[in-house]
């Protein structure tokens, strides 16, 4: 396993759409393991392939605790249902270090994905995990959490982000 460099804004790969994985190969599994190690090293609770410069539809997440880790490694994840009820949670992103904001999203979602053994699965998430999986799937579509903020908040944050990026 290897810790990979995490790409920060502004970088175009974070705005690109990742492509479906057609075959789950040893390389796919290796990349998912490297992504998990990179996420734990950061430390963070989620990472999408765009953030390490790969345009494959792969994400990893762990919203568990240190005592009870819950590693998810997902291939081609997609939201297949989301609740009308929404929840507002503070989010950050390893690609925008040091900048957090509250984001409103559906409170409960169901997702379909392929697991590391190449088997299609479904899962339901609520709370932090629900926000996390939506945040990570957004990455695969070139979307970042700041895009969910009002224009005013987004512009204010973006100015601060660019100031830090230049510093
Ligand atoms: Ni992120």
- pLDDT tens, residue by residue, 102-121: 999 999 999 999 999 999 99
Count the neighbouring beta carbons within 10 Å of the beta carbon of residue 105.
Answer: 20
Spell out the alpha helix ranges (H) of the chain: 26-41, 127-140, 151-166
pLDDT tens digit sequence for 35-87: 999 999 999 999 999 999 999 999 999 999 989 999 999 999 999 999 999 99
Q: What is the distance in A from the centroid of ligand 1 to the CA of 136? A: 6
- Measure CA of the first residue to CA of the last residue in the chain; give whole Å: 32
DSSP-derived letter for residue 43 is: T
Is the pTM higher than 0.85? The answer reads yes
Q: What is the distance in A from the centroid of ligand 1 to the CA of 145? A: 7
Q: What is the distance in A from the centroid of ligand 1 to the CA of 22? A: 24
- Which are the contacts of 109, defined by CB distance < 8 A and separation ≥ 6? 79, 81, 82, 83, 124, 125, 130, 133, 134
37 is a domain residue: yes
Count structural domains, the chain. 1
51 is a domain residue: yes
Q: What is the distance in A from the centroid of ligand 1 to the CA of 113? A: 19
Q: What is the distance in A from the centroid of ligand 1 to the CA of 160? A: 17
**Residue-range definition of the domain harbouring residue 55:** 12-166
133 is a domain residue: yes
1 is a domain residue: no
Catalytic residue flag (residue 136): yes
pLDDT of residue 166 exceeding 90: no
Q: What is the distance in A from the centroid of ligand 1 to the CA of 153? A: 17
User: What are the C-alpha distances in Å from 64 to residues 17, 76, 163?
Assistant: 28, 22, 33
- What CATH number is attached to the domain comprising 153? 3.90.45.10
Given this model, what pLDDT does residue 163 score? 87
Q: Cα(75)–Cα(59) distance, rounded to whole angstroms? A: 7
4 is a domain residue: no
CA torsion 20→24→30→33, rounded to 10°? 70
Return the beta strands (E) in 54-117 as ranges. 58-62, 71-82, 86-91, 101-106, 108-114
150 is a domain residue: yes
5 is a domain residue: no
**pLDDT confidence tier of residue 1, bands split at 50, 70 and 90:** confident
93 is a domain residue: yes
């Amino acid at each position: 396993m290897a810790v990979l460099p995490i790409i920060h804004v502004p970088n175009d790969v974070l705005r690109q759409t990742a492509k479906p994985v057609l075959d789950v190969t040893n390389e796919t599994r290796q990349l998912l393991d490297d992504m998990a190690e990179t996420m734990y090293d950061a430390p963070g609770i989620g990472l999408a392939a765009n953030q390490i410069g790969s345009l494959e539809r792969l994400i990893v997440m762990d919203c568990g605790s240190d005592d009870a880790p819950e590693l998810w490694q997902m291939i081609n994840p997609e939201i297949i249902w989301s609740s009308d009820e929404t929840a507002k949670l503070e989010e950050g992103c390893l690609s925008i270090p040091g900048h957090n904001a509250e984001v409103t999203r559906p409170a409960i979602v169901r997702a379909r994905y392929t697991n590391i053994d190449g088997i299609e699965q479904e899962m339901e998430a609520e709370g932090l995990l629900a926000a996390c999986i939506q945040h990570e799937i957004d990455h695969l579509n070139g979307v970042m959490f700041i895009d969910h903020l009002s224009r005013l908040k987004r512009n204010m944050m973006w100015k601060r982000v660019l100031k830090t990026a230049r510093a």
